[in-house]
Amino acid sequence: EVQLVESGGGLVKPGGSLRLSCAASGFAFSKAWMSWVRQAQGKGLEWVGRIKIKSDGVTTDYAAPVKGRFTISRDDSKNTLYLQMNSLKTEDTAVYYCMIECSSTICLPGWGQGTPVTVSA
């Protein structure tokens, strides 16, 4: 069974940093492109960024609002995805989800339960 478990959320002041983790199990994590998605309270889903697999160069891509501030990485030996968030702004307040991307090789359904991040003074 595919499982994704996010952690690391919390309350942080504007300008601060936070690192989120997503522990994956039940599938070949090293073969899956992964994304982070966020959802502000009462709002829709917003894509944050994506990381490819090793054979695709572990390439990352980001949404404009977070580019230059957020960094996605992965540790395939630990089956874990990360989101390093720096220079946080109040508008980054949201629930952050990790999800499995659908690629030409793997297209599994998988979303975590989310971890809330609140950026407030």
Chain residues that interact with other proteins, rule: CB under 8 A: 35, 37, 44-47, 50, 61-64, 97, 99, 101-102, 104, 107, 109-114
* Residue 29 vs 33, nearer CB to other proteins: 33
Indicate the helix (H) or strand (E) that contains 50: strand 46-51
In degrees and rounded to multiples of 5, residue 82 shows phi and psi of -130, 155
* Residue 76 vs 101, nearer CB to other proteins: 101
* Residue 11 vs 102, nearer CB to other proteins: 102
Strands 60-62, 3-7: pairing is unpaired
CB of 4 to other proteins, least distance (A): 9
CB of 9 to other proteins, least distance (A): 14
CB of 121 to other proteins, least distance (A): 28
> Could you tell me the CA-to-CA distances from 57 to 18, 38, 54, 61 in Å, in that order?
25, 25, 5, 12
* Residue 14 vs 91, nearer CB to other proteins: 91
> What strand order describes the sheet that includes 10-12?
10-12, 115-119, 94-100, 34-39, 46-51, 60-62
